[in-house]
A and B are shown apart, each in its own frame.
Chain A
Amino acid sequence: MRHPLRGLLSVLMPPLLLLLLVLAVWHTLTVALEIESFLLPAPLDVVRAGWGDAALFLKAGFRTGAAAVGGFLASLIVGCVAACLFAQSVWIRRSCYPYAIFLQTVPIVAIAPLIVVWCGYGMQSVILVSFIVSLFPIITSATTGLLSVDPDLLDLFRLYDARRLTVLWKLRLPSAVPYIVSGARTSSGLAVIGAIVGEFFTGYGSSSYGLGYLIMQSSTLLKTDRLFAAVFVSTLLGLAVFGAVSSIGTAILRHWYGTE
C-alpha cells in the first residue's frame, strides 16, 4: 500500500521542514538584529565551519560518542541494580538516596582531581564522568517503576510466598520497563553532555581529541562558528543515542504491553 521510500520521506519531512524554518529564523535574526557573528554565527557560517573540517568533527564525534555510549550503558546497568536495592526497603532508600543525589549534584570540577588520580587521564575517566552524570535518572525512574506495581499482582506473588528476588525479577522489573525506558531516554542525553564535560577535565590531550576539546578551543578562540558546529555534532550524537534508546524502548513496550 505504501511505498517504503515515501514512508521514510514522511518520517523525515516534518523535522526537516521545521529545521528549515528554524534556520530561516536564525538567519534572519543574525542579519536583521545585526547580531554579531562572535555571539551567534549565521547558520551558513556554522555549516561552512563544520563542512570544512568534516573529517575532524566526525572523528571527535566518534570518540566522544563512544565514551557517551559506554557511560550510558554503565549507568543503565548500575542504575537498575541500584534501583533494585532501593526498591527492597524504605530504609535502604532513605539511607542511600543522599549518595545518589550527591553524584548528581557534585560539580565535575570538584571531583575531577580525584578521578584523574584514581583513573588517570583518558577514555576511562571520560566514561566515568559520563556515567556519574547519567546515572541518577535511571536510578530514580527505575525505583519509581519498581515501586509502582499493581497491588493485585503483588498479592498473587504473595500467595506463593515468592521470595523478594523472585518478585523483583518476575514482577517488579518487567512492570518497571516503561519507567526504565523513560529514564534511559533522559540519561542518553546526559551521557553525551557528561562525556563532553569529562573531556574538559579528564579528557585527551590535543593529539587525539573529542568534542569537548573542540568546544573548549573554539570557545577560547571565540570561533563561534566552529563552536556551534561542535555543539551541533554533540546534539546529533545525543539524538542518535536518544533515538536508539527510544526505538528499542518503543519496541519493547509495544511487544510487551501493546502501548506506544
Chain B
Amino acid sequence: MKTVPLKLVTIVAEAVLEDRLVRDLEAAGARGYTVSTARGRGSRGVRASDWEGGNVRIEVLVTDAVSDEVLHLLAERYFPHYAVVAWVERVEVVRGNKYV
C-alpha cells in the first residue's frame, strides 16, 4: 500500500474556540480536519465555559509547511489566553496526496 508521510497535528482546546480554530486552520492551508468532543484537566484548570461543552479535540493531517504555520498561529492567537494543548507527530497517510 503506497502511503505518504505527513504531519498529524492534534489540538485540544476549550469548546468555545471550535469555530475560530477551524477557520484559522483552513486559512493556514489545512484541507480537512476531524473534531471530537473531549474533557480534561490541565495546568490552567479553570475553563471559561465550564458547563458549556468541555473541550474539543481537533486533528489535522497537513504538510510540514502547513504544520509550522498552524503551530505558529496557535502560539500567537490562542496560547496566551486560552486553555489549548497541541502536539505533532509524523504519520503515514493513505491517499496522502489529497492533503498536500
**A associates with B:** no
Q: List chain B positions with a Cβ less than 8 A from chain A.
A: none
Q: List chain A positions with a Cβ less than 8 A from chain B.
A: none
